[in-house]
Amino acid sequence: MTWKDNVDRESFINSELIESLLESKKEVSDADFEEVMKKAEKQERLSLEDVAVLINVEDKAKIKRIFSLAKSIKERVYGKRVVLFAPLYLGNKCTNSCTYCGFKADNNDTIRKTLNPEQIQCEVEALVDEGHKRLILVYGTHPDYTPEYIANSVKKVYETKHGKGEIRRVNINASPLDVEDYKVIKDSGIGTYQIFQETYHEETYKRVHPRGEKSNFKWRLFGLSRAMEAGIDDVGIGALFGLYKWKFEVLGLMQHVEHLENEYGVGPHTISFPRLNEANGAVRNADYLVNDEELKRIIAILRLAVPYTGLILTARESAELRRECMDFGVSQIDAGTQIELEGYSKKNKEQDLKKEQFKIGDSRSLDEVMQELMLNGFTPSFCTACYRLGRTGEHFMEFSKPGFIHQFCSPNAFVTLAEYLEDYASKETKEIGYNLIFSEIDNCRLNDNTKASLKEKLIEVKEGTRDLYF
């Protein structure tokens, strides 16, 4: 099967149901709100109807309660950990004409590039020298970016060692493929395969994707279904907020969650909620742009709706807004981000939208971001243990839902943070980091045996041992 073939499956996005729920739940009664909040408090996965209630809440006191519960649930499930990663763009050739994207084929002034193995190695070495352990590789939609190219680039990332570091987790953001092509990429050792539907509203989808592979709504919609069928059990979904009504898109994301759970027994590992940003030649509809307060509501509602799913907030947003959003349920962020091809090795300070997909809002270094996180009480984590020990997909949920994940993720976060502090941190960041680690060990929910083992591992890290985990 190729992308040009029709997908002989009925779309799992029921637009009529979404619109009817948004209309029928428009007036939120106190009783309906309290019922949904009770379910959320128990950390149950919320239904479409439940989410529609939360979406339509306009009372400020009720919205404040949503934010407060989102913070509580995030801390119960994930603790104060925040996972850090970096995006690495490997190619920006494209055959699509997405109206909102700086890489669209129509942009003749966009500077196109595809990284070869030597260039990939240079980028990875630069990222490792900053302290990164986790990457997401980003590819355009073009015949050059075959499954073999993607798989070989993943292998190149993994085999690149520099100083005391290496990349231990490689996620993918690439075009939808058929099952056999996904198997080629899976064999390279990838983590999460990420595809954003961009918009779940089919008419809008067709309007903003007029030409190219991406114009096929259902081929993209079932892209992660085929990935699951190929054995990739960690997948990431997302919507580009600003293309259509944000309330519709949230319910579209929830229908996608339900589809994956019903068909494959496990929902998405992560959900992303990027907002439409300035880009070279981009067209934006002011009617659908999402403001800061609405973004915060989206994050908090998703945390209540899918309490065990990772929520990713990217450097599209400003440092100030990301700071404000951390409490509402975010569990992963990128840091030290460059989205220009070869941007990490060349260390360009100024953005050039003819070389980049969109304008980023937070250009701080990894060290700056980590220092601020720790000063605000968060524990930066580079942990990759679950993926390397097979705690993925359903197995990850088996660990995370009862809360057992605290016995693995929290101590692994401290160990990987200590690695960073020893090998890459500034003097000030190192001091802040160790103060945080030992304060958190005393206060976190670890049994005595785990605490003792953790302290031993921290000593080993100081003595030069690397890649320790629970």
Query: Given this model, what pLDDT does residue 406 score?
Result: 65
The answer, yes or no, to whether residue 289 has pLDDT greater than 70, is yes
> Mean pLDDT throughout 238-261?
98
Sketch the domain layout of the chain as residue ranges: 75-364, 392-462
Whether the predicted pLDDT of 399 surpasses 80: no
Write the DSSP string, 33-71: HHHHHHHHHTTPPPPHHHHHHHHH---HHHHHHHHHHHH
* pLDDT of 313 over the 90 cut: yes
| CA 157 remoteness from chain centre | 19
- pTM score: 0.94
Architecture of domain 75-364: Alpha-Beta Barrel (3.20)
Strands, E assignment, 239-287? 270-272
End-to-end CA distance of the chain, in Å?
42
The amino acid that residue 216 corresponds to is N
Q: pLDDT of 85-138, one tens digit each? A: 999 999 999 999 999 999 999 999 999 999 999 999 999 999 999 999 999 999
Residue 29 burial (C-beta neighbours within 10 Å; 0-12, 13-18, 19+): exposed
Angle, alpha carbons 264-269-271 (nearest 5°): 115
pLDDT tens for residues 409-458?
Answer: 889 999 999 999 999 999 999 999 999 999 988 877 778 888 899 999 99
Yes or no: say if 316 and 274 are a contact pair by the CB < 8 Å rule: yes
Find out whether 320 and 360 touch, Cβ atoms under 8 Å. no
Say how far apart CA 172 and CA 392 lie, in whole Å: 16
Q: Which residue has the higher pLDDT, 451 or 380?
A: 380
Confidence bin at 402 (pLDDT 50/70/90): low
Q: What is the pLDDT of residue 442?
A: 81
Checking if the pLDDT of 5 tops 80, the result is no
Average pLDDT of the chain to the nearest whole number: 93
Mean pLDDT of 173-202: 97
Token pair for residue 170? 């490689």
